[in-house]
Amino acid sequence: MSVGVRNVMSVDVEDYFQVGAFEHTIPRADWESWPCRVEANIERILKLFERRGIQATFFTLGWIAERYPKVVHDIVAAGHELASHGYGHQRATDLSRAQFAADVGRAKKLLEDISGLEVQGYRAPSFSIGAGNLWALDVLAEAGYRYSSSIYPIAHDHYGMPEAPRFPYRPERCPQLLEMPPTTVNLMGRNLPAAGGGYFRLMPYPLARHLIRKVNEEEAKPCMFYFHPWEVDPGQPHVDGAGLKSRFRHYVNLSRMEAKLDRLLGDFQWGRADQVYGRELAA
């Protein structure tokens, strides 16, 4: 275990049929017809966290909270932080300023009404805030959010802003908001993802552990790790019709994820975003 550095464990609460990989395969209007798996998967994750004595931040879709309020109640009752993933899992890059404001405002109100707690944090679906839509940060601040974890400082075919800072910062255009990027490791001038998700499922566990340890020990910085409830659910219904790359990204190593995640929880110290970065939020 890395001593002295506590990392952020975060969960993006969405169901398997809502992911970006299937956005052109499963129409939004058909979401209600797909079997819900998120309730059982959140229960599974909460038990895993309880066994490891870990608290985390759950970036939760308003769409999920509205239909399955018990998910919200269970997250909060276990002492975890409730944060927002927006309402309908639409990329910020696909929305106008007014549409984005309506989405993030609706999600925040829903989550706060159900939980009775203030929601401070937001993560954009598919990390879809970047150089072309930094106005979204202004909207988040106007809606009352205090931090975001939405700008991934990597080059990716769907998202990313490689020139963005690698560690939490207050954007020049919106200093009232703290941006908490997913973790990267800089090798030969290029930022490589080390924050979880499909990257974590794909790479061998010793490599994933090495990258997080490198940030903790060589840079003395916390890491921001993330995963999704559907990633611990190899029994989820199979979605046909998506492209090869999309199917690979979604299904690779699902059967190994829970065991790898359990090892990770035991090898490092973990906490909630609002607590790990409490000093930065208060500044």
Domain boundaries, the chain: 6-282
Helix (H, G, I), strand (E, B) or coil at 94: helix
pLDDT digits (tens, 9 = 90+) for 48-62: 999 999 999 999 999
pLDDT along the chain (283 residues), means of 10: 82 96 92 97 98 98 98 98 98 97 98 98 97 97 98 85 96 97 93 92 96 96 98 94 87 95 98 98 93
CATH class of 6-282: alpha beta
- What is the pTM (predicted TM-score) of this model? 0.96
Indicate the burial class of 88 (C-beta count within 10 angstroms; 0-12, 13-18, 19 or more).
middle
Cα(54)–Cα(48) distance, integer angstroms? 9
Contact 101, 138 (CB under 8 A): no
